[in-house]
Structure 1
Amino acid sequence: KGLAGYIVSFPIPEVVMGINSFMLGAQSVNPDFKVKIVWVNSWFDPGKEADAAKALFDQGADIIVQHTDSTAALQVAEERKLHGFGQSSDMIKFAPNAQLTSLTDEWGPYYISRVQAALDGTWKPDNVWLGIKDGAVKLAPFTNMPDDVKAMAEATTKKIAGGWNPFTGPVSKQDGSPWLKDGEVADDGTLLGMNFYVKGVDDKLPQ
């Protein structure tokens, strides 16, 4: 149908960035793709997350995404024989036929390196940006999708690990005004303060 439902926690730049990056990825294969948003104002509230998933499916979404941490939304997708993406942990045991993949964070190696630095007397405060290429962000195995889609997902993951930035122009804002020119890459400051949607998001960002 070209419509996804996105269940989100709080209107902060990290979350808005996630919505926009998903939107850009979806539109790279379907320029007419749309996404509807439900804010649950919590990182973990199974009841609200389940209700949000039901509401989004009832509005015509055939896939859901989440920036919340419980398995409730994917369990609704499992019950309705639909699909979705998990967050924070691999949720395949709770939605074996619904989960496509799940974004997970692997903090262990970073914690170990920081503790070791403190023990060695070399620790110093700094900003750290870790991602797929560092093994700090991982995607659960791609499942419940055609082989060609899986191959595309794996290729995109490899591309990001190689340094490609999903926020590379041309990109327009929600109102159609230009944001990034062709080949232009969003800077860290813009991403860290992101307070706007890209084109295709069906929602008014809470202030």
Structure 2
Amino acid sequence: MYKNLAAALVAACCFSAPAFAQPAANTTAAPPAAGAPLKIGYLYVTPITHAGWTQQHEQARREVQEAFGARVQTTGIEDVPESADAERVLRDLVRQGNKLIFTTSFGYGKSVLKVAHEFPQVKFECLTCVQGAANVATTNARYYEGRYLAGIAAGRMSRTHVAGYVAGFPIPEVLQGINAFTLGMRSVDPRAEVKVVWLNEWFDPAREREAALTLINQGADVLAFHTGSTAVMAAAEERGKLAVAYHSDMRQVAPNAQLLAVTHHWGDYEKRRVQAVLDGSWQPTSLWGGVKEGMVRVGDFGPGVPPAVQQEVLARQKDIAAGTLKPFTGPLVDNEGRQRLPAGQSLNDAQIQQMNWLVQGAQGRVTQ
């Protein structure tokens, strides 16, 4: 996830948050007491809700605390804007003695790099970021792999051959998801179309709901979304349609509407990184993991999904993990009719990470 990114392709859920006090000018981090636990800070870009992006990161924090017990002390700070406020909060965490800090949105990247330069003795894990440093590691997940699998389920279950997609910002990560979902859907239903509504927001439940209802009125009987709340799921439940849960299982909100969930799992990665700090082996690595690494997973099928569809999706998940199925394999044509990749080839990571187009079958424009 990320934040507002009109000029710099950054994004992640922007909303108001309480102002944070300006820290004192002192730039010396408090030394840990002898035998004291490793202090670990977490920055969250949205409030902690019962499901969604931030909930998955909060779950990872709890997994870390449970795994290491008294050896660590974790602190999560929610609803931190991707602005100068993030720098102030990061500095405050350092002065409180945190020696490892996880940030959970691409929009924190510049703040992390700036503060990391000021405090070279502190280690930063910038989740969903791209640029690292000597004391900044980066990691992200191949969310698009789960989207492709969800598309297969949507293609099998849709009766109108139309899916709706409520999207935050037209950045590569979101475009990857829309395209993979469309390709997965059309792999089992060549007539399928995916209608896209852009919000240019990450977290606005009222607008997410409005977009979902608009798409339903346009014939979509399956919905997907790349936003921060459960509003799309609730709208699908209300209207008797299906929807793909994102980030976490959302059957609590949409017990009948949930088709399946594309879930994100950060706990194992974070536990490895914490252990590396504790044993002195931490390095500023860069990881882009997906289904194979257990960072992205599909499952949590709804009650109306036939066993045959579930088995098909789970079988394709194994294929992705084994590397025998790559969602972005040619021939690929964009929705303006231009060939993007010939048959027999697959997009490489650099091409996927720079994706700025919509695939054939996705109705919408990248420039909003």
Q: Deviation above 3 Å: which 4+ runs of structure 1?
A: none
Please give the alpha-carbon distance, in whole angstroms, between the structure 1 residues aligned to 2:335 and 2:282: 42
Aligned residue number for residue 280 of structure 2: 121
After superposition, give the CA deviation of every residue in 1:59-90 in whole Å (9 maximum; x if it has no partner): 11111001112111111111111101011111
Out of 329, 334, 337, the residue aligned to residue 173 of structure 1 is: 334
Q: What residue number does 1:49 align with?
A: 208
Name the aligned partner's letter for residue 306 of structure 2: P
Three-state SS of the structure 2 residue aligned to 1:176 is coil
Which structure ranks higher in relative contact order (CA pairs < 8 Å, sequence separation ≥ 6)? 1
Q: Distance in 2 between matches of 1:63 and 1:108?
A: 30
> TM-score scaled to structure 1, two decimals?
0.95
Structure 1 residue runs of 5 or longer lacking an equivalent are none
State how far apart, in whole Å, the 2-side matches of 1:120 and 1:186 are. Answer: 38
1:94 aligned to 253, 261, 280, which one? 253
TM-superposed CA distance for 1:138, in Å, is 1.9
Number of equivalenced pairs: 207
Q: Tell me by how many angstroms 1:202 deviates.
A: 0.9
| Cross-structure match for 2:105 | none
Moved more, 7-16 or 169-178: 169-178
Q: Percent identity?
A: 45
Kindly state the Cα deviation for residue 170 of structure 1 after the two structures are TM-superposed. 1.6
Counterparts of 1:142-181 in structure 2 under 5 Å?
Answer: 142-143=301-302, 144-163=304-323, 164-181=325-342
Per the alignment, residue 355 of structure 2 pairs with 194
The code of the aligned residue for 1:126 comes to T
| Counterpart Cα distance in 2 of 1:101 and 1:43 | 21
Unaligned runs of 5+ in 2: 1-159
Which residue in 2 is equivalent to 1:64? 223
Q: 1:32 aligns with which of 188, 191, 199?
A: 191
What is the alpha-carbon distance in structure 2 between the residues aligned to residue 74 and residue 180 of structure 1?
Answer: 34
TM-score by length of 2: 0.55
> What one-letter code is carried by the residue in structure 1 that aligns with 2:305?
M
Rg bigger for which structure? Answer: 2
Write the distance in 2 (CA, Å) between the matches of 1:141 and 1:102. Answer: 6
